[in-house]
Amino acid sequence: MRLTLRNIFKSFGEKEVLKGISFSAESGRAFGLLGRNGAGKTTTIRILMDVFGADAGEVLLDGKPLNYKELRIGYLPEERGLYPKKKIIDQLTYFAELNGMKRQDAVKSVDGWLKRLGMSEHRNKRLDTLSKGNQQKIQLVTALAHNPQIVILDEPFSGLDPVNAMLLKDVVKEEIAKGKIVLFSSHQMNYIEEFCDRIAILNDGVAAIEGDIHEIKRNYVRDKLVVRSEAAEQIRRDLGDCCSAREDGGLLIQMASADDKREMMQRLAGQYDLDEIKVFEPSLNDIFVEYAGDQAKEAAV
């Protein structure tokens, strides 16, 4: 399957929220939908789920408009929305039935997921008797019990301890391996890098950049060097403003041009005792800051 959003526009009153967003995601792969708060992620997700329509543009599956009567979408919202006073099995079964399952099938699927997530013992408890992390696992069941073809996970790791985060990682990998389309929306870039092949970074209602993460990194201007040396302070004094300290203890050196790479590396290696020198490759966090920050918005004006 291939999910495509093509040239999506959406306004609320005089506020234009989406200004022609386009991206595509494929089955068996995870897609990261990124952006700061207010960039348009939630509006995009709601249009995809048919909560409301776009003012213009298309949402397509394999080149055809989505048939929401046949398509199953699972959604884990950032703002969790289950009933705290209700018995867990009752409300999970109810949500599975809302998504088209017969009651007997719904109970069987819910029980299977509760077992998979180590939550069977809580089956007949009220939701508000559980810890925050366990409540989140219960919420996850609502997104997966009806076996959706498209899974949308909005800040799925928020509030999870390392053990439960590892469990959720395994579940997500299993869903991807089943050939589903998995969309991530998160500010935790390490998880996006771990799961996603493709990303779109939204900024002020437009896709500031979209594509394969590895291609984006390869196309990044290679005009910076990373250096590690016992002589770090001396190097900083000698190079001045073009050299800055990194959080990991290394140095980041900005060159005038990527063509200066060989000359600069030879110069540094000849003058200082270096432990490491390499071309800087940006992390996803670096790319996010560049394309989602205020400077990116100003450049687009």
Mean pLDDT of the chain: 91
- Give the residue-averaged pLDDT of 129-149: 93
Worst-scoring range by mean pLDDT, 38-42, 77-81, 163-167, 286-290?
Answer: 77-81
**Half-sphere exposure of 286 toward its Cβ, with a 13 Å CA cutoff?**
13
Do the strands 29-35 and 73-76 form a parallel or antiparallel pair, or are they unpaired?
unpaired
Share of the chain above pLDDT 90, in %: 76
pLDDT, tens digit (0-9, with 9 covering 90-100), for 93-128: 999 999 999 999 999 999 999 999 999 999 999 999
- Give the residue-averaged pLDDT of 248-260: 92
pLDDT, tens digit (0-9, with 9 covering 90-100), for 142-161: 999 999 999 999 988 887 88
Non-local (6+) Cβ contacts of 216 within 8 A are: 199, 209, 287
Give the model's pLDDT for residue 294: 65
Write down the pTM of the prediction: 0.84
Share of the chain above pLDDT 70, in %: 97
The rounded distance, in Å, linking the Cα atoms of 117 and 135 is: 11
46 pLDDT band, cuts 50/70/90, is very high
Return the closest-CA partner of residue 48 out of 71, 19, 80. Answer: 71
Give the model's pLDDT for residue 187: 85
DSSP state of 126: B
Give the model's pLDDT for residue 299: 42
Bridge partners of residue 73, in order along the sequence: 150
Beta strand extents in the chain (DSSP E only): 2-12, 15-26, 29-35, 56-61, 64-65, 73-76, 150-154, 181-185, 196-203, 206-212, 224-229, 243-245, 251-254, 274-279
- Give the residue-averaged pLDDT of 284-296: 80
Backbone angles phi, psi at 10, to 5 degrees: -155, 130
- Give the residue-averaged pLDDT of 57-84: 91
